[in-house]
Structure 1
Amino acid sequence: MKLHEYQAKQVFADAGIPTPPSQLAETVDEAVDAADEIGYPVAIKAQVQVGGRGKAGGIKLVDDADEAREAADEILGMDLKGYHVDKVLVEGAVDFTNELYVGVTMDRGEGQPVAMVSTRGGVNIEEVAAEDPDAIAREHIDPSFGMHPFQARKAVYNAGVDQEVAGDVASVLQTLYELWTEKDGSDAEINPLMVTSDDEVIAADAVMNIDGDALFRHPDLAEMQDEAAEDELEAKANDYGFDYVRLEGNVGIIGNGAGLVMTTLDLVDYYGGEPANFLDIGGGAKAERVTNALDMVFSDENVDAVVFNIFGGITRGDEVAKGINEALEQFDEIPKPVVVRLAGTNAAEGMDILNTDLVEVEKTLEDAVQHTVELAEEVNQ
């Protein structure tokens, strides 16, 4: 479960991590009243669970009530990368001199939690990791013992954080790890952790993702789930009983089996595309289930083309083909181009059944993915 920024900040503040004064608002008038009470300048921030809000116009810094009203009116109700904005966080602006990054997640390669610190906060940390991995200091933690204070200090020192605030940053990092452990977190991060001219550190953003299977241990967090405004597509996936994760690309992916879908995602990336989702329809999928899967992917406005990758074991290729035909025959015009690859049980029968006026067929997974990436690129040209 993903917490919204305002929810994560409350969790952080309750644990002693400094955060700016803030109020949640659902109307323009509420946003202006909150800004007046907090005192200008303030930031008005869209509360949607997606990265890059600032670049997409979802965060605005304002200096007076007129600007606050205009900004809130623009942000509330906007479509931000496919997410409808119905809440904003009105937050006191921080006069900062530096922006840091601190985070905790699981390093699956090492089989241990890892704490991370960087002096290059305020930007996409994934880009920093790809372009300059040495800019992020990492400290692996033995979960049997937890994070020792010296490990937090070591990570901060290795990151090159200024000595004046190193102790406070280390304290924030250790608290973040303790929260990650206590709350059964999958990810916890602050980006940016701002340093003020008075050498104070303040969490200007907050990310906290919780293992949904552990929510029974955290009734206080479970109560936030309804407020977290689950993405409409992910809610629909729950209704359909799919394993689904929404991503930020434009190539829709449907497959049967987590490994097969992950392989397809990797190939989309390999051929220069960006996956829009992870969607596993599971084994033994009948025609209705396939129809539901296509309905989901077509509902994602970010998707420009769809690759359907099925390897039949329990799942029969002819049933999948029937589902694809049934789904696509409902449309006067196919909303997105669909490329299909069938293999395994009854694949030949499925290939015979497929309506090639509605889909394009490729024999190999590599050809199917490459063709889909090309189709998605053509839409954006």
Structure 2
Amino acid sequence: MKLHEYQAKQVFADAGVPTPESTLASDVDGVLAAADEIGYPVAIKAQVQVGGRGKAGGIKLAEDADEARDAAESILGMDLKGYHVDRVLVEEAVDFVNELYVGVTMDRGEGKPVAMVSTKGGVDIEQVAEETPEAIAREHVDPAFGMHPYQARKAVYDADVDADLALDVAGVLTTLYDLWEDRDGSDAEINPLMVTSDGEVIAADAVMNIDEDALFRQPELAEMEDEAASGDELEQKADEYDFDYVRLEGNVGIIGNGAGLVMTTLDLVDHYGGKPANFLDVGGGAKAERIANALDMVFSDENVDSVVFNIFGGITRGDEVAKGINEALGQFDEIPKPVVVRLAGTNWEEGMEILNEDLVTVEQTLEDAVQRAVAYAEDEEGDQ
């Protein structure tokens, strides 16, 4: 479960992490009232769970009421990378001189939690990890003992954080780890952790994702679940259809049965130069209704320019999957986007013969299917 920024900040603030004064608002009058109470300047921030909000126009600074009104009218109701913005966080603007990054997640390769610190805050940390990995200091933690104070200090010193700030940043990192552990987190990060001219550190952003299987142990966070999901209609649909679904920022829709299969497809789309639009695992079985629901979801994403099915027939036979795909696509008067299908496993050959090639493009291998879907997406994008 992904918390919105305002929810994560409340969790962080309750634990003692310094955060700016802020108020949630859903209309222009609410924004103006909140800004008057907080005092200008303020930041007005779209509350959608997507990266790059600032570059996409979802975060604006306002020095006075006129600018706050303009910002609120611009952001509220906008489509931000496929997400409808219906709430904004009105927040005290931070006069900062530097930006840091702190985060905690699970390093599955090491089989341990890892705490991270970087002086490259305020930018996409994945980009930093790819281009300058040495800029991120990492400290692995034995979950049996938790994070020792010396480990937090070591991570901060290894990141070359100024000595005057080291203890404060180490304190924030320790609190973040404790929250991650106590609240059954999968990820927790602050990016940026701003440094003010007075030498204070303040969490200007907040990310916290919770292991959904542990929500029964987190009743306070479980109460936030409906509100956290309310910003995205597709993710609400996924809950209704009982799909494992994550919306991404690309234009190649991906449907598969099995998390590993979907992840492999996603990686191949990226490998062949495409941009995945989603992770969608339909789970066991592939009857017509379930396939139709999956297509309804993917076709409802206006960013999608093509779709690739990657289905492995195990208990569910390939011929049954093919019949389901035919029946599902037959329910559409017009196929909105090109669909590429690859089948493997039990009775896959029979399934390939059954597939209606007037409705789909059939490929023998996953690599060919992905490359075809990427090419279709590029053609659709070029025609727009």
TM-score by length of 2: 0.97
Say whether residues 1:378 and 2:375 are aligned partners.
no
Task: Measure the CA separation in 2 of the matches of 1:291 and 1:304.
Answer: 18
Q: Would you say how many aligned residue pairs link Structure 1 and Structure 2?
A: 381
Distance in 1 separating the partners of 2:66 and 2:334: 46
Query: In 2, are the aligned partners of 1:295 and 1:327 still within 8 Å (CA)?
Result: no
Are 1:209 and 2:209 an aligned pair? yes
Deviation readout 1:41-100 (Å, 9 max, x if unpaired): 100000111111101110000100011011101111111111111110000111100000
Alpha-carbon distance in structure 1 between the residues aligned to 2:311 and 2:244 = 15
Question: In the alignment, what sits opposite 2:189?
Answer: 189
Once residues 287 and 345 of structure 1 are traced to their aligned partners in structure 2, the CA distance between those partners, rounded to angstroms, is 18
Give the distance between the partners of 2:18 and 2:345, measured in 1 at CA. 56
* Residues 258 and 283, structure 2, Cα contact 8 Å, conserved in 1: yes
Distance in 2 (CA, whole Å) between partners of 1:304 and 1:179 is 40
Counterpart of 2:160 in structure 1: which amino acid? G
Deviation, structure 1 residue 177: 0.3
Contact 1:321-1:351 at 8 Å conserved across structures: yes
Deviation at 1:283, TM superposition (A): 2.5
Which residue of the partner structure matches residue 249 of structure 1? Answer: 250
Look up the match of 1:58.
58
User: Which residue is 1:364 aligned to?
Assistant: 365
Per-residue Cα deviation, 1:162-193 (whole angstroms, up to 9, x for no partner)? 11111100100000000001100000000000
The two structures have a TM-score, normalised by structure 1, of 0.97
Give 1:95's aligned residue.
95
Q: Quick check: 1:321–1:350 contact (8 Å CA) kept in 2?
A: yes
Task: Show the counterpart of 1:329.
Answer: 330
Query: Quick check: 2:229–2:236 contact (8 Å CA) kept in 1?
Result: no
CA distances 1:290-344 after superposition (whole Å, capped 9, x unpaired): 1211111111112111111112121222222222222222333211110111222
Task: Quote the residue 2:180 is aligned against.
Answer: 180
Kept in 1, the 8 Å contact 2:286–2:324? The answer is: no
Shift >6 Å, 4+ stretches: none
Q: Structure 1 vs Structure 2: percent identity of aligned residues?
A: 82
Within 5 A, what are the aligned runs for 1:1-381?
1-230=1-230, 231-381=232-382
Give me the whole-angstrom Cα distance separating, in 1, the residues matched to 2:61 and 2:222: 32
TM-fit CA distance, 1:273: 1.3
Give, as a single letter, the amino acid of the residue that structure 1 aligns with 2:216.
F
Q: In structure 2, how many angstroms separate the alpha carbons of the residues matched to 1:347 and 1:191?
A: 47
> Residue 8 of structure 1 aligns to a residue in which SS?
helix
Q: Do the aligned partners of 2:255 and 2:262 also contact (CA within 8 Å) in 1?
A: yes
Q: What is the rounded CA distance, in whole Å, between the counterparts of 2:229 and 2:144 in structure 1?
A: 35
**1:129-164 deviation per Cα after TM superposition (whole angstroms, max 9, x unaligned):** 000000000000011111111111110001011111
Q: Distance in 2 between matches of 1:115 and 1:345?
A: 44
The residue type paired with residue 325 of structure 2 is: I
Deviations 1:247-267 (A, max 9, x none): 222111111222221211121
Gaps of 5+ in 2: none
Name the CA distance, whole Å, in 2 between partners of 1:37 and 1:237: 39
* Kept after mapping to 2: 8 A contact 1:244/1:278: yes
Q: CA contact under 8 A between 1:287 and 1:319: conserved in structure 2?
A: no
Measured in 2, the distance between the counterparts of 1:376 and 1:262 equals 19
Which amino acid in the other structure matches residue 321 of structure 1?
Answer: A
CA contact (8 A) 2:313 2:343 kept: yes
**Aligned mates of 1:188, 1:284 — CA distance in 2:** 34
* Structure-2 separation of matches of 1:183 and 1:311: 36
CA distance in 2, matches of 1:267, 1:183: 34
Runs of 5+ unmatched residues, structure 1: none
